[in-house]
Amino acid sequence: MPRARSTTQADWQTAAPQENGSGCLSLYSLSILSVFLITCLITALGLNTPVKISAASPNNQTSSTQQLSPIFTREVQHWANAITRWSNASALDPNLVAVIMQIESCGDPSARSSAGAMGLFQVMPFHFQLGEDSYDPEINALRGLNYLTRSLQAANGDARLALAGYNGGIGVISRGEWTWHAQTKRYVQYGAPIYADAHSGATTSPMLDEWYQKYGAGLCRDASQRLGLN
């Protein structure tokens, strides 16, 4: 559940960084060739063009090459088509999106935490715009995955740090892990290995099984009833 998100967010796509233009130096005392070489050197050393981090999976693999892993519970698998669609819209790995849904709600669109987080991706109320239905899966995914995208960008594509940012707030990404809240440490402890299993093509995940036994059984039972899977 994200703890510290901006109250104003763009929709699925984040704004692309502006490219810095490069101009020519007017050095009349030098030959044209010298001016060209000096300009190229200054451009190479001094131009600091923002780089857009791909909000997909690590190793620059895009969502279009990824399929949802079979390791996730049937409640999350229920949302497979929607997860794929949402992931493609936001350029995210669907398996990372599924990890978030698995841990946050186990696929229960009506889930609500004691802290007030809501829906499939357990988004806090202040991330929604006035009049939005926070429990609507489409709206909930829009707001939650926008924050996941921002978290991945802040983490330079590191899924493990992005998971920490999603749970504890993007600010934790730049801090030492010893400062993280116990819940954030636990979130990463389970989320990162589950994602690694899903991303690698494994058909089972011991860490997901452990999470289910310790924390997820009741959550998934509620989700199963809500989705009519019993």
Q: Is 39 part of a structural domain of the chain?
A: no
Q: Is 42 part of a structural domain of the chain?
A: no
- Give me the CATH number covering residue 129: 1.10.530.10
| Residue 19 scores a pLDDT above 80 | no
Q: Is 86 part of a structural domain of the chain?
A: yes
Query: What's the length of the chain?
Result: 230
Calculate the average pLDDT of the chain.
Answer: 79
**CA–CA dist 38, 91 (Å, integer):** 39
What residue numbers bound the domain in which 72 lies?
A: 58-227
pLDDT digits (tens, 9 = 90+) for 23-32: 332 222 334 3
- Cβ burial 122-160 (10 Å sphere, 16+ → b, else e): bbbeebbeeeeebeebebbbbbbbbbbbbbbbbbebbbe
Of 23 and 221, the one with more pLDDT: 221
Tokens of 103: 């841990």
Q: How many domains does the chain have?
A: 1
* DSSP class per residue in 142-155: HHHHHHHHHHHHHT
- What's the pLDDT band for 230 if we cut at 50, 70, 90? confident
pLDDT digits (tens, 9 = 90+) for 32-66: 334 343 343 333 333 333 333 233 443 333 444 57
Q: Is 190 part of a structural domain of the chain?
A: yes
Q: Is 85 part of a structural domain of the chain?
A: yes
